[in-house]
């Protein structure tokens, strides 16, 4: 396949921002807004690591977009433009690329973003997809991981564990033997296609003192947040929100609860809120049909970065968080 033909036939139509220059130059340009900061994130997906080569290219494209959108949501930034670099093995045909481009197009419309540039190269074996995404936020308003304060309450959006349990079913279909077809398909679909809560951007902007997306496992990500903020936390495991399908599966296989809260790929938002803003936060979320759950609080301890459950038992030795290496 010829690189220029791939770009012209599949990607130029995605480059609707004037700064993309129809993908016909060596670089792109962005017009700076003096009242906003540009928040930049990057994620890479590799076949055999983050997805299977036989997975739907349409869904792979969407997942590549959404893992980046998730990072921006957690910073309180609105997605704007992105760069795509893709390494393509020789066994990937034009039809695969057409489906991939279609997935990009549909999510561009969903999130009101556009392609600004990138690179297309040949890969010897695996499919490599890297997206750099730029989001915009009012000046000096980015919410970092490091802002949690003592007595803040700890919240998470949506439900936790659906993706991890979907992957568990794909790895061992017998786990779903007593699961309804609707629940089984819901969990598997959650693995293939995450749905980061785009409407949480305003919540993060208005209420959060610290925030990060839940991508590598809830418990592990809580530990990252409290480490960045030099605080400790106490959480109530019973309050961690799980969906009805996940609960149905966990009731049949109780060991999967640990998988759900440690494995990752949730792409929800973990954030802290001051006590005096809790009532307003929960009222706003209720009025706007946003699901957030108070799962614990930030506390002061003799040592830093300690994590306790509702019984005061230390959880800092949990090592099940997803690791990239």
Q: What is the tens place of the pLDDT at every residue in 150-183?
A: 999 999 999 999 999 999 999 999 999 999 999 9
The angle formed by the CA atoms of residues 71, 292 and 209, to the nearest 5 degrees, is 60
Give the mean pLDDT of the chain: 92
SS3 call for 314: strand
User: Residue 172: CB partners within 8 Å, gap ≥ 6?
Assistant: none
Q: Which domains are delineated in the chain? A: 3-138 (3.30.1330.10), 145-308 (3.90.650.10)
Rounded CA gap, 116 and 81, in Å? 6
pLDDT at 1: 64
Token look-up 């994620």 returns: 43
CB 269 within 8 A of CB 195: no
pLDDT at 50: 82
pLDDT higher at 11 or 68: 68
pLDDT at 269: 98
Q: Positive or negative CA dihedral for 282, 244, 236, 220?
A: negative
pLDDT at 53: 78
Closest CA relative to residue 161, chosen from 218, 109, 221, 212: 218
Determine the average pLDDT of the residues in 75-90.
96
Task: Convert the pLDDT of each residue in 101-119 to its tens digit.
Answer: 999 999 999 999 999 999 9
Rounded CA gap, 33 and 78, in Å? 14
The predicted model scores a pTM of 0.92
Q: First and final CA of the chain: distance in angstroms?
A: 33
Indicate if the pLDDT at residue 318 is higher than 70: no
CB 308 within 8 A of CB 234: yes
DSSP characters for 292-313? Answer: EEEEEEEE--SSSS-EE-TTS-
Rounded CA gap, 108 and 312, in Å? 45
Tell me the pLDDT band of 146, cut-offs 50, 70 and 90.
very high
Task: Convert the pLDDT of each residue in 224-264 to its tens digit.
Answer: 999 999 999 999 999 999 999 999 999 999 999 999 999 98
Counting every residue, how long is the chain?
325
pLDDT at 322: 47
Indicate if the pLDDT at residue 320 is higher than 60: no
Indicate if the pLDDT at residue 72 is higher than 80: yes
pLDDT at 325: 42
pLDDT at 324: 47
Beta strand 210-214 pairing with 268-273: antiparallel
Rounded CA gap, 299 and 231, in Å? 7
Rounded CA gap, 109 and 322, in Å? 31
Closest CA relative to residue 113, chosen from 30, 223, 181: 30
pLDDT at 115: 96
Surface-to-core class of residue 313, CB atoms within 10 Å of its CB (0-12 exposed, 13-18 middle, 19+ buried): exposed
């Amino acid at each position: 396949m010829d690189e220029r033909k791939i770009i012209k036939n599949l990607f130029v139509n995605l480059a609707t921002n004037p700064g993309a220059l129809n993908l016909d130059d060596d670089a792109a340009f962005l017009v700076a807004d003096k009242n906003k900061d540009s928040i930049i994130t990057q994620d890479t997906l590799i076949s055999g690591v983050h997805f299977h080569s036989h997975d739907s290219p349409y869904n792979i494209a969407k997942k590549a977009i959404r893992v980046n959108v998730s990072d921006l949501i957690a910073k309180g930034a609105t997605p704007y433009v992105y760069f795509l670099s893709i390494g393509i093995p020789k066994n990937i045909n034009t039809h695969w690329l057409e489906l991939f481009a279609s997935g990009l197009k549909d999510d561009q419309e969903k999130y009101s973003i556009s392609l600004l540039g990138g690179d297309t190269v040949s890969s010897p074996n695996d499919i490599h997809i890297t997206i750099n995404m730029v989001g915009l936020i009012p000046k000096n308003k980015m919410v970092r991981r490091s802002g949690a304060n003592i007595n803040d309450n700890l919240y998470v959006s949506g439900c936790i564990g659906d993706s991890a349990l979907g992957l568990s079913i794909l790895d061992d279909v017998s786990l779903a033997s007593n699961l309804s077809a609707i629940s089984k398909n819901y969990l598997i679909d959650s693995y293939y296609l995450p749905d980061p809560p785009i409407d949480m951007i305003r919540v993060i902007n208005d209420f959060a003192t610290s925030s990060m997306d839940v991508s590598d496992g809830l418990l592990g990500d809580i530990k990252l947040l409290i480490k960045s903020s030099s605080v400790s936390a106490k959480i109530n495991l019973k309050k961690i929100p799980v969906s009805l399908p996940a609960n149905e599966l966990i009731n049949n296989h109780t060991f999967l609860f640990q998988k759900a809260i440690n494995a990752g790929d949730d792409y929800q938002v973990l954030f802290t809120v001051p006590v005096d803003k809790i009532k307003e936060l929960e009222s706003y979320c209720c009025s706007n049909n946003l699901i957030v759950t108070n799962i614990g609080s930030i506390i002061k301890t003799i040592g830093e970065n300690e994590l306790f459950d509702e019984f005061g038992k230390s959880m800092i030795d949990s090592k099940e968080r997803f690791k990239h290496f």
